[in-house]
Every structure is written in C-alpha cells, then in structure tokens.
Amino acid sequence: MVAAQKGDAASYRRLLEAIENWLRNYLGAQHPSADTDDLIQETLLAIHLKRATYDPTQPLLPWVSAIARYKKIDFYRRRKRRREAHTTDFTMIQSSKTISTHTESAEALDHLLDRLPKPQADVIRLVKIEGLSIHDAAMRLGRSPAWVKVNVHRALKAMKQHADGAAP
C-alpha cells in the first residue's frame, strides 16, 4: 500500500488483487455469491477513493476490514429500505384510501421540496427518499459528506417550518 500511495501502479494492481481475494473469503463466507461480488466492488471502490487516508504506520488489514464492514452495513441497509418500499407499495395498492393519502402526502412533500433551494432539495431526495448514504450522496453531488449533512439538517429544518406554516 505504501508503494501504491507513492504511485507504483504495479504494486497498486497487486494490492487490489490481494485485497479482492481476501474480501472474497471474508465476505463470501457470510453472504450469497451475488451479494459478494457487489460488496467486493463497492469495497474496492471505497479503498481506491480513500487510499490517501491510509496511515502507513498502521496495519493495513484492520483498515481494509473496517471499510468492508461499513460497506456491508450500507449495502444491507439499502436493500432493507428497498424491500420495505416494495412492501409498502404493495400494501398501498390494496386500499384506495391509503393510495389517496399517499398521493396527498407525495404532493405535500413535492410542494415542500419545491420551496427549498435546489441543493437542499437534491440532498433530501438522495438521502431521505432514495436512501443513499451520506457518503454516496456526497460522491454523486461532488461535495463533501459534511456539506451533505449540513444541507440535510438545514433542509429538514426549513421543511418543518414550512409545514408548520412559519417562514424559514
């Protein structure tokens, strides 16, 4: 990793291959193979993006396993949200009253989002509606995770004030 951080492409390629093999054993023992490939790709991408943060005075494996663990948690959170959304959608189809309420809620949400500055509306859509992690939303928007967190907080505060009828 130290050689890779210094720009040695061959070392970096060997490092990623070794990490991929380790991840396949680490994640594959816990998850079905379809999930394993997705998790490995997400973890390798995160390692690539964060390689400059690795401290060469520390062991590499705990750093890699921490990234893998967080990617695994994010992966299954997103899957759970999607599964809950599908279940919720199916339940809503069974009741016209629920559909009407859902439509009104969606319209009210759209109205609140329309009143926000575009950057705040964008982070709410990505983080709160699509279920992206703060990190993933920051990557998609080309911003820092701190910027995303601040804008989510500001947007939610403004939406609450609008919903309560007060000026933000």
Task: Say if residues 65 and 71 touch (Cβ distance below 8 Å).
Answer: no
The pTM assigned to this predicted structure is: 0.46
What integer pLDDT is reported at residue 84 of this predicted model?
A: 58
* Residue 103 pLDDT: 52
Residue ranges of alpha helices (H) inside the chain are: 2-5, 9-28, 33-50, 60-93, 96-114, 118-123, 134-141, 145-164
Question: What was the pLDDT predicted at 31?
Answer: 58
Write the pLDDT tens digit of every residue in 128-149: 888 888 898 999 999 999 999 9
Per-residue model confidence (pLDDT) at position 142: 93
Query: What's residue 132's pLDDT?
Result: 83
Question: Taking each helix axis from N to C terminus, what angle separates 134-141 and 145-164, rounded to the nearest 10 degrees?
Answer: 100
Residue 159's CB is within 10 A of a number of other CB atoms, namely 21
Which residues of the chain fall below pLDDT 50?
A: 88-90, 92-100, 102
Take residue 22 and report the two structure tokens written for it. Answer: 């380790």
pLDDT at 83: 63
Which pLDDT belongs to residue 105? 64
